[in-house]
Structure 1
Amino acid sequence: MEKILIKGNEAIGLAAIKAGCKAFFGYPITPQNELPEYMSRELSKNGGVFIQAESEIAAINMVYGAAGCGARVMTSSSSPGIALKQEGISYIVGAELPCVIVNVMRGGPGLGGIQPSQADYFQGTRGGGHGDYYMPVYTPATVQETFDLVIKGFQVADRYRTPVLILVDGIIGQIMEAIEIKDSYPQEEIKKEWATKGTNRERKPNIINSLFLNPEKLEEHNDRLFEKYEIIKREEELSETLYLEDSEIVLVAYGTTSRIVKQAIEDLRDEGIKVGLVRPITAWPFPYSKIQNLNTNVNSILVVEMSKGQMIQDVLLGNKNQKNIFFLGRTGGMVPSIEEVKGKVKEILRGEANEYSL
């Protein structure tokens, strides 16, 4: 076991290499630039290939090709760059190709700014591209968790033949934290019989495609994809909870925001205010059951995000009109403070906060 101090973006690259990533295709955009920079330096030393593509669109189509050959492959970008990749992501989903996609979120819409944000939640959890599809979405809160979930992401991508999205905000990409690295990371042995590796004249060629001109065949394909999504929802949902046994108010937050919320919770509990936490680690599949099964003492849920309110819609779906829902959001690169979170909780307790409405 080794312990090192490393920047979040570089930890993503290191994790990818440890996971056996053999190809990276990307394009520079702040605040994820350290990741392709790291991969350009380190991937070739580990038997891999790095290409800075001429655009984000080119990068995602290179991912399609390399994934089709059976390689472990990754791309990364930040919000507007991920938007440009959406058509290619939809094609990759349709062709059932495993890969890892990293979005280090910045403020928007449009070019927005380079400060951190969580306003790409809809883009990640609702597919983003055209057609009916989902993909697993991880929302780590620390550099260590980011490192671990990148490795897990490659495994999940191969297991289900699906792209996996690592959704982090710009703070996690830019901060430096100590992480522990194991001596080795065994890889699951998954035979990719579907890959276009060459036939050696021993079998018929594999064909990778997302085009189904027969509507009945396309419907069958979509139905099969959604059967796979049901398995992912059962097997791959992840979340963290704190103090749910005695809480009267539950806070829901992910990523960097959850770290702020955790400190606010500790401060409030020191004051005798019973608050708890639900932290989605997978934004899709979302941990709806954690919201649905809160104890009867809970009368209010406060959702805290670096957005105008995107995850709150999943909380509303999970809540099913059981509890009062409140919202605290900052946007445009602004980050909610511990004092703002504590103040909002006290507003709710005093009956001075307005409930959230769509």
Structure 2
Amino acid sequence: MVPFSVLDLSPILKGFDAAQSFRNSLDLARHAERWGFRRYWLAEHHGMPGIASAATSVVIGHVAGGTSTIRVGSGGIMLPNHSPLVIAEQFGTLESLYPGRIDLGLGRAPGTDQRTAQALRRNLVASSDSFPQDVLELQSYFRPATPGQRTRAVPGEGLNVPLWLLGSSLFSAQLAAALGLPFAFASHFAPELMWSAIEMYREQFKPSEALARPYVMLCANVFAADTDAEATRLFTTLQQHFLNLQRGTPGIMQPPVDDMDARWTELERARVEHSLACSFVGSPATVRQGLERFLQRTRADELMVTAQIHDHAARLHSFELAAQVRDALAASAPAAQPPAPV
């Protein structure tokens, strides 16, 4: 069975505030735990009116503290925004509080615009160019301390916090392969280089203490409902969000609409559809058909599902249906060697 996981941005919905977003995230995580999702990740974004997960490690603690078994982590922490030592301490703290349940996914993009990135870092010297060195430094803080070591992560040292590399380009795929780390690709919003990244990662992978063989997780938008028409309508919330991003006017998550044609030009529609190409929208039968083809073609070891749906009840129902699709796919799949757990 290909495990399914959840990516959440704690979306801020029209008519609500960030506090409600965090309550919704915890509620979704509790349901995801009961429905058998493997992990629940939150993403770091800054200066985005529709995304509440900026203080990602804090929200991870909120979700982990309200659940019992599901793995909780970052999808991801944008490492250039932080010193590696601070992240080691934060995730060492989380791992100490919730042992065996914390993941640390790392990205090299700022997760925001350049002006906000500069406000986060105060200067741009620590940029994506130093990302490989920052990852190695971060890894070092989780190893047992050596005699005479002066800079230490307390808590952090000696703890097993699994590191993942996240990306939407070939850079992180190549680095993950070189370091022998699991790799997650952001196919849910940047599918252009997915195939090349997967191929490069698998071909260049070098076994490490962390991982014996390649492990690929792909992320996809899954909007499931009882009918194709209902799911298509729910999907317009995400389409409006990406349309606003393309226009440079990000905002809170909007309710669904009956028709998008009056809201975008043909060029805008093409751009949004290109960004959201890895989306599976429809009834359980429609979603199952699409995901089955996708998983067979990509041979993904894990699928991370995301769905920014305005109505919380409809969002819960979508993830519940996604879990049912997962179970149906597992029941119909031939027996195979399971991927190594990560």
Q: Shared fold by TM > 0.5?
A: no
Structure whose alpha-carbon radius of gyration is higher: 1
> Scaled by the length of structure 1, what TM-score is found?
0.29
TM-score where L is the length of structure 2: 0.30
Task: Choose between structure 1 and 2: higher helix proportion.
Answer: 2
Q: Which has the higher strand share?
A: 1
